[in-house]
Amino acid sequence: MSDESVFTLTYQFDFPDGSSKVFDVQLLRKNCSLIQPSRDYYPEWTRLEYRKCRHCPLSATEHPRCPVAVSLIDVVEFFQDAQSVEEAVVTVNTRQRLTERGKTALYPAISSIIGIYMVTSGCPVMDKLRPMARFHLPFANTEETVYRALSMYALAQYFRQKRGLSVDLDFSGLQKIYQDVNRLNIDFSRRFRTESISEATMNALTSLDCFAQIIDFSISEEMLEEIEVLFEGYMD
């Protein structure tokens, strides 16, 4: 596969003991889908039917493994014994920018990389957020993420209109997307409740769930009115 057809997001964790860990998230440039390495072994918790999300549209016949679960194997296994209070210096290279987050607790950094894997894994629920991965903004806050989500959704409506499909101009569909993501986060975390998964990874998943809820609540008429003021230059 040529270098031009792939781009890589690199998360590097540097730990106080001098050790480090690099996660290279390789994505196909044309559609931002995750390139999954082949494996000889898959944990039991990656089976699609293993505590399957209630609103999952996939069938085990065609998809024996949960795409989200498979994408997270390396992260889950590396941080198997990690605690949220542990710290690391995290550097993220997206090719467009190099972002270094000074010494930080593990769980927000794990949450950030888990989010990338989830939206690019091929899960139909998470697919709606995949365009945001192409322009990944590491450690984005709620306001930044809401603006990026609104922009992504508005552009999606433009492309739908070009194809003669119905469009949604009040962003109700975007709220539905984040409600579905929230349900997925809750259901997906059930896979690990009896597994030997680290407290740091569980907190990272919980953080993603809370973030999805906050974004859902933030997409409101008040938020749109607040942002509308910025577009006065377009109103002449």
pLDDT greater than 90 at residue 74: yes
* Pair 60, 76: CB distance under 8 Å: no
* Torsion, CA 225, CA 228, CA 229, CA 231, rounded to 10: 180
* Pair 126, 118: CB distance under 8 Å: yes
Sketch the domain layout of the chain as residue ranges: 3-234
d(CA 187, CA 52): 7
pLDDT greater than 90 at residue 64: yes
DSSP state of 65: B
pLDDT-based confidence at residue 3 (cuts at 50, 70, 90): low
Tell me the whole-structure pTM to 2 decimals: 0.89
* pLDDT of amino acid 196: 64
E-strand stretches of the chain? 6-14, 20-28, 87-93, 98-105
> What pLDDT digit, counting tens, does each position of 31-40 carry?
999 999 889 9
What is the arithmetic mean of pLDDT over 68-83?
A: 90
* pLDDT of amino acid 194: 61
* pLDDT of amino acid 4: 75
